[in-house]
Chain A
C-alpha cells in the first residue's frame, strides 16, 4: 500500500510539473469560458450556434473557408431552407455547395502573406480548443490598452513602472526589455498584435468588433457575445456528430455497467465454493 501511495504521489508531482514548465514559456493560457456543449451532460446551444453561423458567413468567410460543412447542413441548427439559400447567396453560392470562403489562395497570399486556415476543424486543431479561438477573437488590444502603448512609447523608452503596467495589459514577458521595445515598435507600426497568438503577431487584423453583426432575434451584439456565438458554431462545425455520440454513449455505458455488475455477481457465485 505504501508503494501505491508513493507512486500516486510521484504521478501527482509529475502532473504538477508542466505548470512549472509552462510558466516559463511565452504565450499565456487562454482563460476558460463556459460552453454549453462541454462535459458529458452538456449539449450544444443551438440558438447560439445559429447566430454564430450568421457571424461566420457574414464576417469570417470573407477570408476563411469552412469547407467540410455544406450550407445545407446549417438546417440542422434550425435555419429554414430559404434562410440557408440566402446565407449561401452572401458568398455567391448555392445551398448544396461547401462553405468555401470568398478569398482565393493567390489573393490571400497577396493580401496577408499567408492563406487563412480553413476553420472547419479550428476548435479541435489548437491546444486550448474553443477557449483558444475565443481568446484570439478577444485578444486584440482595446482602445485603453492602445492608448497605454502610445503613452509608453511617446518618449521612446520603457521605464520599470511602465513595463509593469504593460505586463498586465498585454500579457507579455517584461523581463526582456529589448523584446518589449521591439514588440511595441512593431505594434505602433501597425502590425496585428494578439495576446494569445504564439509570438503575438499574426496576419489576421482584428476581424470582429462590437456591433459588427446585427442579430434578428434581439440578442445583444457585443464583441464578447458575437465571438462566443461564432465559436459555438465552429465547435459544431468541427464535429457535427457530438450530440449523437454523447446520447449513444449513455446507452452503451449504462448497458455495460449493468452487464458488468451481473458478471461480477455471477463470478462471486461461481467462485464461492473455491474461496
Chain B
C-alpha cells in the first residue's frame, strides 16, 4: 500500500496536498458554530447535484409532458418522491445555509482584507445559486412556475433599447413557452456544475488567506490554531448531523411546507393566478423591486436596478467598512446596525409575500409604505456602516491581542 502511494506521490503529490490542505490545514481554534455553515452549504450542493442527476433521468423538459413527468416521478419511480422532495427542500436549506454563511461573514468582518477576493467569489456563487434556483422552480411547469418565470423574465424588458428584444431572445418566442422550459432545463443542469468550479476557487482563496475567526484578528499559526483533522472534521460532521435532522424532518414529514399550493396546478397561460409569489428566499429582493413604484415610467427599470444593487452592493462592502476592527463583537454601533439589517430583511420578506396592494389595519398602513421604508433601511445599512467607520463615530472596544 505505502509502496503504491510512494509511486503516486513521486508523480502527483497527493499525500502532500491532503496533509497541507485538509488534515493538517491550520484552523483558528476559537471558531464557533456559525463557521459550520460553509461545509453545510457544500453538503447541500452535493445533495442537490446527486438528486438532480437522478431526477433528470426521469424528467421531461417539454411543456406538454413536464408536469405529468414530475408526478410520474412522485408516483411510479422507485423512491422518486424521495428524490424530488430532497431536491425541492434542498433548495430551501441551501439558501438557509448560504444566508447564515453570508451573515456570519458580515458580522465577523470576514469580507475585510485580506479576504476580499474570497468574499467576491462567494457573492458570485450566490448569484449563480439564485439563477439556478429560479430556473429549477420553472421545471415542474405548474402555475407558479409559469407565472413566476413570466414575471421575472419580463423585468428584462425594462432595460433601455435592447430590453424588449432581449426578452424575446430569452423566451425563444413571444411568451414563456416550450422553448423557454427546454433551455431553462439545460441551464439548470449546467449551472450547478459551474458552481462546483467556482466553489473550488472559493476554497482556494480561503486556503490562501485562511479562515477569519470570531475575534477577527490575524492568528499565530500553532499557538492559535488546530489541525483541521480531527478537530474540525468532527465538528463539521456533528453540524451536518444536526442540519440533516432538521432537513429530513421537512423532507419526510412536511415536504410541502415551503412549496406553493398553486404549483400543483398545471401551467395555464390563459389563467393568471390571483397572487403570484416567488419562493421564500427571493421575497426580500422581490419586495425591494416592488417598492420602487413612484418614478412613473422609470419605476420598473429603477426597481430592477435596486433589486440587483441590493445584492451587488455586497461587492463594495470591503471598501465601505473602514473600522480598524474586523469583528462586530467589539463594535457596538455596527452590531446594532447588523441586527437592524437582519430584522429589516425579514420584514422585507414578509412584505414581498403579501399582495402589493395589501394594507394593515383596514387600509391604515399600506404595505407599500412599509416596503419603501424597509428598502431605505436596507441600503441605509451600507451607508451608515460607511459613515460611522469612515468618520470614526464608532469607538470600538479593546480587542484581545491573541486568542
Contacts and interface: CB of A to CB of B under 8 A. Distances in A.
Contacts of B68: 68
Nearest to A275: B29
Nearest to A250: B252
B253 A40 contact: yes
Interface in A153-180: none
Interface in A97-144: 117, 120-121, 124-127, 129
Contact of B346 (A14, A124, A239, A274): A14
B342 interface: yes
B74 A252 contact: no
A3 B339 CA distance: 8
Q: Could you tell me the dominant secondary structure of chain B's interface residues?
A: helix
Contacts of A249: 248, 251-253
A252 B252 contact: yes
A10 B340 CA distance: 11
B75 A241 contact: yes
Interface string B360-392: 111100000000000000000000000000000
Interface string B39-82: 00000000000000000000000000000100100110000011
A246 interface: yes
B94 to A, nearest CB: 19
Contact of B347 (A14, A127, A244, A253): A14
B237 to A, nearest CB: 5
Contact of A264 (B238, B252, B265): B238
Given A124-B261, A271-B231, A260 B238 contact: yes
Given A7-B343, A125-B261, A252-B248, A21 B354 contact: yes
Interface string A251-270: 01100110110011011001
A34 interface: no
A133 to B, nearest CB: 12
B104 interface: no
B245 A256 contact: yes
Interface string A187-211: 0000000000010000000000000
A125 B244 CA distance: 28
A266 B252 contact: no
A246 B255 CA distance: 11
A129 B254 CA distance: 13
A20 B241 CA distance: 38
A20 B85 CA distance: 32
Interface string B251-263: 1110110000110
Contacts of A244: 81
A270 B261 contact: no
B205 interface: no
25 contacts: A7-B343, A14-B347, A14-B350, A17-B360, A20-B361, A21-B354, A24-B359, A24-B362, A68-B71, A121-B71, A124-B256, A124-B261, A125-B261, A249-B251, A253-B249, A253-B252, A256-B244, A257-B245, A263-B241, A266-B234, A267-B234, A267-B235, A267-B237, A270-B231, A274-B226
Interface of B: 29, 68, 71, 74-75, 81-82, 85, 226, 230-231, 234-235, 237-238, 241-242, 244-245, 248-249, 251-253, 255-256, 261-262, 264-265, 274, 339, 342-343, 346-347, 350, 354, 358-363
